[in-house]
Amino acid sequence: MTERKTALAKPRRKPVQSRSWQTSLAIQDAFVQLLVEDEYDRITIRDIVMVAGVALGSFYEYFTSKEELARTCVHFRSKRILKKLEQSRAEAAGLPLVQGIERAVLTLVDMVMDDHARWGQHFLLERRHSALKQYRADYGRFTSQWKLLLEASEDWPIGRDAARPALTLSMLVYGALAHTAMSEDAKLDRGDVCEQLRLAAISYLAAWL
């Protein structure tokens, strides 16, 4: 099937109402599920709408192309990572540093492991379709949450800037999440993944402090 050219298409509306959002979400979910089962280049828009249970015209109400759909999926799943980290940061405020790190690591690893195949596709799509500017912006927000988590810890040194260790933690944890998501599920042990990542993060911070 020939897809409409993005350059000539009008900007699509953003889903605002609940029903509209559900349609958009159904399309996104169908796309990610198809990616688990087949290769990106082999999936057509007709395949996507068939699995989503929507009309072809509904697809073009929200997306100009399969590529735009891919970018949208990456955007919203990236927000889920950030939201989980924000939640962990809020819950860890005032706790000892080690407990805050453990809570955040466990929450993020559980999120990825609970939906392993789909998160694997997320990180693959991110590498293929994320613009560098958007990737940097998302990564910057991820790093900012680590900085806030560190500085809100009970035993974080007063006046000590957490920017540098937050950046290192971002690289360490995000890289570990991506590697975990794209690894073979049968070869992963959730407890071991959490423990190794926890040790790496805490050991680094102990050396830095």
* pLDDT per residue rounded down to tens, the chain (209 residues): 444 444 334 445 555 557 788 999 999 999 999 999 999 999 999 999 999 999 999 999 999 999 999 999 999 999 999 999 999 999 999 999 999 999 999 999 999 999 999 999 999 999 999 888 988 999 999 999 999 999 999 999 999 999 999 999 999 999 999 999 999 877 889 999 999 999 999 999 999 98
| pLDDT at 10 (0 to 100) | 47
| pLDDT at 11 (0 to 100) | 47
Backbone phi, psi, residue 25, to 5° = -65, -40
Q: Which long-range contacts (CB under 8 A, 24 or more apart) does 129-136 make?
A: 129/67, 129/70, 129/71, 129/74, 130/71, 130/74, 131/71, 134/71, 134/75
Q: How far apart are CA 99 and CA 101, in angstroms?
A: 5
Helix (H) / strand (E) element for 172: namely helix 163-182
Domain boundaries 10-64, CATH class = mainly alpha
What type of residue is 9?
Answer: A
3-class DSSP assignment, residue 32:
helix
Q: What is the CATH number assigned to the segment(s) 71-208?
A: 1.10.357
- Give residue limits of the domains in the chain: 10-64, 71-208
| pLDDT at 16 (0 to 100) | 52
Backbone phi, psi, residue 11, to 5° = -60, 135
Q: Which one, of 165, 22, 175, 145, lies nearest residue 84 by Cα? A: 145
| pLDDT at 75 (0 to 100) | 93
Q: How far apart are CA 127 and CA 132, in angstroms?
A: 10
CB 201 within 8 A of CB 146: no
Domains 10-64 and 71-208 alike in fold: no
| pLDDT at 124 (0 to 100) | 94
